[in-house]
Amino acid sequence: MVDLRDLDDKIRDPLRPEIASSWRRSQLSGLDPGDPVGRLTFEEVNDRCRLVVAADPVLDDMERTLDRTGFAVILADRQSRILDMRCGDRPVRTALERTGGMRGRLFSEENTGTNSIATAYELRRGIAVHGTEHYLEAFKKFSCYGHPILHPVTHRLEGVLDITCLAVDDSPLLAPFLIRAARDIQARLLEGSRHAEQRMLARYQEAATQHRDRPVLVLGDGVVLANPAAVDLLQASDHAVLRALTGDLRDDRGRLRDIELACGRTARVRFERIPGTGGGALFELDALDDPPRRSPPVPRGRAANVRRPGRAGELNRIRTHRLPVLITGEPGTGRTTTARELAGDAPVRPVAAARLDEEGDSAWLARLAESLRAPDGLTVLDDVHLLPADTAARANRLLEGRPGWFAMTGAPADGLGAEQRALAARCVERIDLPPLRRRIDELPQLVAAALSEAGAAGNVRFTAAALEALASHSWPGNLRELDAVVRTVLEHRSGGDITVRDLPGPYRISARTRRLGDLERAERDAILTALRACGGNKVHTAERLGISRTTLYNRIRALGIVA
């Protein structure tokens, strides 16, 4: 690997500071100058994205200007992935393709080193990379100019425009030519944004005219359109829930969903994406019940069953008939809390599988048998999925004849072994607790319940933006994780509005992450996991991920993580 301390011996002139910094980032990423370009990552290209639509006429014009020359124009997106490539002649196309220059290739500094696409992406400004300034040996025969394309309204990086040629054909006139083209694309992005707003307005007016008395709402990037009925019915926190509904839509067809609103009412929502708006969506609502006379009380406790339709009646029926019940769910979904709620005023006698190693099989089974013989109360066999097969079989024999009233808690059924499933089959009733990621529409109520448990109800309020950030999280720890986040926030804020900046670092995610593709979501989750493991320290996080700190900052911005 090239030692940066010996750079002056490797090339004729010292490296420019921005090029030297890029070489260091490339080294920190584990890239060697002699690495083959075959390791480049390939990803699918979206030909309908707004950058391609805006850039296409500009690229057509550049292609005509550069026809029969040794120059190529390359368009990359905000992830440094090549979206389009126009070449003036066949030899330059062949040379670029041999070094990985083709649609769908990811040109980041981690896998291509210093070049005008990857380095312009890192620096967020235009840069020229001449011949030997390239980090990879395979690219040193080229010279290239790259300029970032920024959205004129949001100022977010949309992509990079590049002109590449063989080093012998380098010309200083290419830079101003490229800058003008990049500005033309930015102007077309602005025009496209206006068209998107016009489409949202037209769809809103159409729906609002057809349903004058029905709440109608349109949500887009920085756009909120609502008729008076929607303004009266919805609170700001409801917007976060509604945006979350559209996160998994992959087409423009309408969907129906019943949700709980912040005011305590249930509403049926019809929602659909608005084509050509970059994520704008239309919502039409029908309230399914009468307005509550007063704000509904938020129950104390971990909120496992907050607003679960029919749950109270279901628990009362099981309790009345003393039916054995299996309570399943991922860790943190409220299995133990549900068992306690099921018992009501009766005593609860937990027999936890986690204590098996501590007590030994015989003592643990004896305690289970003693608990089952007690005349009243509920025996709760916690975490049946942790029981060894032979212990599960012996516990199953203890339950023959169904002595006493018992419940079991455990992982979802697909996480149980054969003997554990046989034991669970003793339960004639089953309660499946959904993970929090499938209850995002209930997030405002769940946060309110967590605040109530912490004794802060009425003192603080999570803003709509904060709820929207929380709704973007995957919640592997479910309700237990949510409870921990709320308590962490309350350690620093005891009153007033909780904003995105008040949330722990890994949870400060913008709403746009709901529209990320599968690969981007996987990347975001990996960064969040590393941030949590490193306590939010970005230097350690970059080292853990094996990338440069600059790259980490750029990915955090691109993926909408507010850190």
What is the largest distance, in Å, between two alpha-carbon atoms of the chain? 93
Rounded Cα gap, residues 257 and 521, in angstroms:
24
Task: Determine how β-strand 378-382 pairs with β-strand 348-352.
Answer: parallel
Question: How many angstroms separate the Cα of 367 from the Cα of each of 25, 138, 322, 350, 524?
Answer: 60, 71, 21, 10, 46
What is the residue-wise DSSP string for 451-520? HHHTT-BTTEEE-HHHHHHHHTS--TTHHHHHHHHHHHHHTT-SSEEE-GGGS-GGG-B-GGGGG--HHH
| SS3 per residue for 43-107 | CCCCCCCHHHHHHHHHHHHHHHHCCCCCEEEEEEECCCEEEEEEECCHHHHHHHHHCCCCCCEEC
Sheet containing 406-410: give its strands across: 348-352, 378-382, 406-410, 325-328, 429-432
The position carrying tokens 């990552």 is: 41
Residues 251-272: b if buried by 16+ CB within 10 A, e if exposed: eeeeeeeebbbbbbbebebebb
Question: How many angstroms separate the Cα of 494 from the Cα of each of 104, 189, 214, 290, 461?
Answer: 49, 43, 38, 34, 10
- For residue 149, the cross-strand partners are 159
Question: How many angstroms separate the Cα of 152 from the Cα of each of 23, 189, 219, 557?
Answer: 31, 7, 20, 17
Rounded Cα gap, residues 368 and 387, in angstroms:
13
Query: Phi, psi (5° rounding) for residue 453?
Result: -60, -35
pTM for this prediction: 0.47
Give the CB-side neighbour count of residue 551, counting CA atoms within 13 A. Answer: 30
Enter the tokens of residue 241: 């829930």
Residue 292, pLDDT score: 52
Residue 10, pLDDT score: 47
Enter the tokens of residue 160: 């990079």
Give the CA radius of gyration of the chain.
Answer: 29
Rounded Cα gap, residues 279 and 518, in angstroms:
16
Rounded Cα gap, residues 159 and 148, in angstroms:
6
> Packing angle between helix 538-545 and helix 518-533, nearest 10 degrees?
120
List the pLDDT tens digit at each of the 563 positions of the chain. 444 444 444 443 578 899 998 998 888 777 888 887 755 566 667 666 778 888 999 999 999 998 889 999 999 998 888 999 999 888 888 888 888 888 888 888 888 899 999 999 888 899 999 999 999 999 999 999 999 999 887 677 889 999 999 999 888 888 888 999 999 999 888 887 778 888 888 889 999 888 878 899 998 866 788 888 888 888 877 887 888 787 666 666 788 888 888 777 888 999 998 887 767 889 999 887 665 544 444 444 444 444 454 567 788 888 888 888 999 988 888 888 888 888 888 889 999 888 888 888 889 889 888 888 888 889 998 988 888 888 889 888 888 876 688 999 988 877 788 888 898 888 888 998 888 887 877 888 888 888 888 877 667 888 877 887 888 777 888 888 899 899 888 888 777 788 887 888 767 765 444 455 556 666 777 787 788 778 777 888 888 887 777 778 777 776 766 55
> Packing angle between helix 335-343 and helix 311-321, nearest 10 degrees?
60
Residue 75, pLDDT score: 96
Triad 415, 416, 422: Cα angle to 5°:
160
Residues 62-80: b if buried by 16+ CB within 10 A, e if exposed: bbeebeeebbbbbbbbbbb
CB 369 within 8 Å of CB 395: no
CB 144 within 8 Å of CB 164: yes
CB 257 within 8 Å of CB 269: yes
CB 108 within 8 Å of CB 121: yes
Residue 563, pLDDT score: 53
3-state secondary structure of 377: coil
3-state secondary structure of 219: strand
Query: Phi, psi (5° rounding) for residue 496?
Result: 90, -165
Q: For the chain, what's the residue count?
A: 563
**Dihedral (C-alpha) 377, 383, 388, 392: value to the nearest 10 degrees?**
40
Question: How many angstroms separate the Cα of 552 from the Cα of each of 9, 321, 425, 510?
Answer: 31, 57, 49, 17
3-state secondary structure of 171: coil
